[in-house]
Amino acid sequence: MTKRRAGGLERRGSGLLLPVSALPSPFGIGDLGPSACRFADLLFDARQSYWQVLPINPTSTALGNSPYNSDSAFAGNPLLISPELLEAEGLLSKSDFDPLPSFPVERVDYEAVTLFKRKILYRAYEGVRSSLGKNPEFTAFCKEQSVWLESYALFKVLKEHLNGAPWNHFPKELKNRNPGALGRTREKFNDQIVFQQFLQFIFFRQWFSLKNYCKSKQLRIIGDLPIYVQYDSADVWTHPGIFQLDSEMKPREVAGVPPDYFSKTGQLWGNPLYDWEALRAMHFDWWIQRLAHNLKLFDLVRLDHFRGFAACWQVPAGDPTAEHGRWAAAPAEAFLETLFSHFPDPPIIAEDLGIITPDVIDIMHRFGIPGMKVLVFAFGEGLPAHPYAPHHFIRDCVAYTGTHDTNTVRGWFKKETDPKERERLSAYLGRKADEASVHLELIRLAMRSVSNTVIIPVQDVLGLGEEARMNLPGTAYGNWEWRVLPDQLTSAGMAPLAQMTTLYGRTNPG
C-alpha cells in the first residue's frame, strides 16, 4: 500500500476537544445552536484548525448517557437539537419554553433534559405534522437516509410502545422482522414513526448548518466513531446476521478490554461482537455504509478502539468482569483493503491506545493511518523509551495532553502521580512542575513537538481539575455530565493557546 497522508494532516495544526453536550446553553445541555457557533468563533480567533467532538449518536439514561453506547450507529442525538434554532425557524415560540426548568449549569441533568426536550420537540412536530408529507426537503431526507432511518424510527416506536423492552423481547414476529408484521406495525404507528423521522431531519439539518459554519472559519470537525454498537439497538435488530448471536438471538460473547491502566479487572463493555466472516462475505457493506455516513458528517473520523479491527477481547456473556476474556483475530487487512477501495484516501485517525501489538502497528503503517500519543501516560518508570514521550513523536500522529477517558492534566497531576513521576516530569521539563501551571507545560510539550496535529481537551486549556473530568472508564454512572461555563470560554482564557499556536507554527491559514 502506498504511503499516504490522511485527510490533510500533513500540515501543522491544532485544535480543541469539546463534546457538543458540554457547550453552554440555557436548556440544560449543549446543543447545535448559537453557543456552538460562538465556540467555532473562539477557535478561529485562537488560530485553531480543528474541533474534535465525541460521538453525536443518541444517548440513554438507562445506559449511563454514554455516547459510545447508543441505540443507533447512524442516528443523531435529539437532545442536541437547538431550541433557539427551532424558534428562529418559526417552529417554536418563546412561550413554548415557559416555564423554563431550572437546569444546573455545570452538569447535564439528563433525565430533566430528556423530559424537556421531548416536550418541546413534539410541540414543534405538531406544528408541521399536517404539511410534513408535502415538504420536499423532508421527503428527500427520508429517501437519502432510508438505509437506516425507517428501521430506526420503527425500533424507537416499538420500544416506547412496549415499555422499553429490548428487541429480543419483542413479539416473535417483530423480533424476527416478519415483513407482514413490520408492515402492519408501520401502518398502526405511522404518526409516531414520522415524529422520529422528523427529529432526525431536524438534527441533521442543524448539524450540517454548524458544519458549514465551521467550514467558513476554515475549521475541520473531527468526529468519533465507536467500533461497537449496543446490543439493544436498531443496528443489531435490523442486521443480526453480522453479529455473534446464539439461536435465541443473544450474544455468545461480549466486548471489552483486558486489565489495563484504567481498570485492574479490565473494562466489560458488554457490546455484541461482529461476525467478521459474515461481514467479509457481504463485502463489509454495513461498515462501508457506516463510514460513508460519518465521512459526510465529519471532516476527519477517529476510529475508536482501532486494535479491535485486528483482534478483539471476547468475554463470555454473563461474566461480571472482563478478566477472563480471550483475544480473537479479526480480518483487519481485508477490511481496510475494502474500505480503501471505496474511499481511496479516507481521513481517518486510529485510536490506538492500550495494548497495541506489532500486528496493529504494522497495519497502521501499511495503510498510512495516524495514531495517537497521550502525554499523561508518558511519565511513568519507562519514560526514556515510552512511545508517548515527545522525543518519540513522529509527524504522522495526533498528540493529546489527555482524552475524554483520562483525568484532566491538573487532576492527573494532583491525584494520580506519585513523587517519582512528578520528579521525572520536572526533569523532562527542566524546571519544577507544579499544579498551577502543569496544564500549560503539557500543552507546550505537545504544541512544540514534531507531531503535525495536536488536540487539547478544553478542560486542559482552562486548567480545570478533576471535577471537570468527562468520563471514568469502568464506571457506569455520573459520566458525560460536565459542561463548560459561559464565562470560561473567553478570548482571554484562550490567549496562552493562541500564543503557542502562532509560536509553534500551527496557525489556521484561514
Please confirm, yes or no, whether 253 is among the known catalytic residues. Answer: no
Percent composition of the chain: helix, strand, coil (DSSP 3-state, to 5): 45, 10, 40
**291 CB contacts (<8 Å, ≥6 apart)?**
225, 301, 339, 342, 343, 346
* Inter-residue contact 20 to 113 (CB < 8 Å): no
Q: Which residue has the cell 465529519?
A: 298
Measuring CA to CA, how many Å separate 400 from each of 10, 76, 223, 226, 409?
17, 26, 15, 19, 11
Total Cβ atoms within 10 A of residue 144: 11
Helix or strand run (H / E) with residue 255? strand 253-257
- At residue 374, the 3 state secondary structure works out as strand
- At residue 27, the 3 state secondary structure works out as coil
The β-bridge relationship of strands 348-350 and 326-329 is: unpaired
CA angle 81, 23, 508 (to 5 degrees): 105
The neighbouring-strand residues paired with 348 are 301
8-state DSSP, 407? P
Cell numbers of 85, please? 434554532
Sign of CA dihedral 104, 108, 114, 120: positive
8-state DSSP, 108? -
Please confirm, yes or no, whether 351 is among the known catalytic residues. Answer: yes
Rounded to whole angstroms, the Cα distance separating 287 from 298 reads 16
The β-bridge relationship of strands 253-257 and 267-272 is: antiparallel
* Inter-residue contact 279 to 329 (CB < 8 Å): no
Rounded to whole angstroms, the Cα distance separating 407 from 422 reads 16
Of 490, 353, 450, 507, which Cα lies nearest the Cα of 15? Answer: 507
The β-bridge relationship of strands 397-400 and 371-374 is: parallel
- Whether the upstream peptide bond of residue 99 has omega within 30° of 0, thus cis, is yes
Sheet strands (E) in 81-149? none
Which among 232, 299, 405, 441 is annotated as catalytic?
Answer: 405
Please confirm, yes or no, whether 405 is among the known catalytic residues. Answer: yes
Helix or strand run (H / E) with residue 316? strand 311-316
- Side chain identity at 58, as an amino acid letter? P
8-state DSSP, 408? P
How far does the chain reach from its first CA to its final CA, in angstroms? 33
Which among 41, 84, 173, 304 is annotated as catalytic?
Answer: 304
Helix or strand run (H / E) with residue 286? helix 285-297
Which among 31, 235, 299, 351 is annotated as catalytic?
Answer: 351
Rounded to whole angstroms, the Cα distance separating 370 from 305 reads 13
Return the active site residues. 304, 351, 405
